[in-house]
Amino acid sequence: MNDIRNILKCYFVAGSQDCDRPSANRADNLLSVLEQALQGGITCFQFRDKGKNSLADFPEQQRALAAQCRELCRRYGVPFFVDDDLDLAVALNADGIHVGQEDISPAEIKRKISKPMIIGLSAHNLQQLSQAQAEGVADYCGLGPVFPTLSKEKHQAPTGMECIGEARKAGITIPVVMIGGIKQEHIKPLIAQGADGVAVISAITQADDAKQAAAALKQAACIS
């Protein structure tokens, strides 16, 4: 589990919909931002391409972009995850997959895959964390959103900063990465309460300097 906890330190999540800066296209923007983030030291990347302005209606382009993201991650030796698409994760030989409460279950994923794959599960409260730990299939949970976020069109009620501390006091030991509106100043308190890392989208995609932003986030997560 120590390896997984290290992987979660500075977890970058993004898709073409998150990179709308002026450029040739969003796909090129994502690849540019991802490489800068990799140079800055992110510890894993999740390809989450869905919703408005994504390539969801163009599956061939989406798959090609995912493959390019995977190759960038491989070049930098950083784990590559796919959000909620087991077929794509298997086809690309992804290092992991992350699913939500209403997606394919971790147990079903285990039954369908033939090679080891890290499985992440979204959780929004202590009950879901406890259930994930009891089932013993998910390798980690993404807990949140900590704060309201614009990165998802619909999201659960914010958990607040204290949820991870309450979870640890309640005996939750499964690796947990916090997500949802997190900024650099939130990282040290979250780690101090028991978070293994933080997952961010806009803190990197909307930064003036993605490499610098990633480096600062990783530093805060690793020295807290």
Residues that constitute the known binding site for Mg(2+): 84, 103
Catalytic (active-site) positions: 48, 122, 152
Domain 2-222 has CATH 3.40.50.150: no
Domain residue extents for the chain: 2-222
Q: How confident is the model at residue 26 (pLDDT cuts 50, 70, 90)?
A: confident
Supply 149's token pair: 């976020």
125/145 Cα distance (integer angstroms): 10
Supply 215's token pair: 């480096």
Report the amino acid identity of residue 106: P
Counted residue by residue, the chain has a size of 224
pLDDT digits (tens, 9 = 90+) for 172-199: 999 999 999 999 999 999 999 999 999 9
- Under 8 Å between Cβ of 210 and 40: yes
Note the pTM of the prediction, 2 decimals: 0.94
Question: Dihedral (C-alpha) 165, 126, 155, 13: value to the nearest 10 degrees?
Answer: 60
What count of Cα atoms within 13 Å lies in the side-chain half-sphere of residue 40?
Answer: 28
Supply 163's token pair: 């949820």
Average pLDDT over every residue of 39-51: 97
149/38 Cα distance (integer angstroms): 23
Confidence at residue 96, expressed as pLDDT on a 0 to 100 scale: 97
Residues ≥6 apart with Cβ < 8 Å to 63: 88, 91
Confidence at residue 105, expressed as pLDDT on a 0 to 100 scale: 96
Average pLDDT over every residue of 158-179: 95
Per the model's pLDDT, the better-predicted residue between 25 and 184 turns out to be 184
Mean pLDDT of the chain: 93
Angle formed by the axes of helices 59-76 and 26-40, nearest 10°: 20
* SS3 labels along the chain: CHHHHHHCCEEEEECHHHCCCCCCCHHHHHHHHHHHHHHHCCCEEEECCCCCCCCCCCHHHHHHHHHHHHHHHHHHCCCEEEECCHHHHHHCCCCEEEECCCCCCHHHHHHHCCCCCEEEEEECCHHHHHHHHHHCCCCEEEECCCCCCCCCCCCCCCCCCCHHHHHHHCCCCCCEEEECCCCHHHHHHHHHHCCCEEEECHHHHCCCCHHHHHHHHHHHHHCC
Average pLDDT over every residue of 48-63: 93
Report the amino acid identity of residue 5: R
Residues ≥6 apart with Cβ < 8 Å to 223: none
Q: How confident is the model at residue 157 (pLDDT cuts 50, 70, 90)?
A: confident
Residues that constitute the known binding site: 46-50, 83-84, 103, 122, 149-152, 181, 201-202
Q: Does the pLDDT of residue 224 top 50, yes or no?
A: no
